[in-house]
Amino acid sequence: MQDVQLYHNPRCSKSRAALELLRGRGLEPRIVAYLDEPPTVAELERLLDLLDLEPRALMRRDEEAYRELGLDDPSLDRRALVEAMHREPRLIQRPIVVSGSRAAIGRPPEAILDIL
């Protein structure tokens, strides 16, 4: 069976839709409750590499914490941004699906199908 991880927020409709899509294809993902157990800096770096994104592209820039923490400051380096996502996981875009060496952000949820 295919190993699939879902970085999941059960209160997010897109995250729930991604889970439903996976299950509809007979896949039971390992659910990562990233709000309860934030990804480490190393895990976030791996996700960024798999997604081929820079940190701000993985951040929810409309979150209040983004403004409060001054994360729009262009002088912040990659490490500072990744550490901010580790400390404040609600800043991380969701859902994220990882399958093998591929990952996708489920916005829209159907975007995850490209990596399965």
The pLDDT, as a whole number, for residue 2 is: 74
The residue from 5, 12, 43, 69 that is catalytic is: 12
Q: Give the pLDDT score at 19.
A: 98
Give the CATH number for residue 35. Answer: 3.40.30.10
- Cis, bond preceding 74 (omega within 30 deg of 0): no
What is d(CA 89, CA 14) in angstroms, rounded to the nearest whole number? 17
Domain extent for 30: 4-115
β-strand 4-7 against 102-105: which pairing, if any?
unpaired
**Three-state secondary structure call for residue 104:** strand
What is d(CA 99, CA 29) in angstroms, rounded to the nearest whole number?
9
What is the value of pTM for the model shown? 0.93
The question of whether 12 is a catalytic residue gets the answer yes
pLDDT of 1 above 60: no
Q: What is the pLDDT of residues 42-94, one digit of tens each?
A: 999 999 999 999 999 999 999 999 999 999 999 999 999 999 999 999 999 99
Percent of the chain with pLDDT over 90: 98
Give the chain's domain count: 1
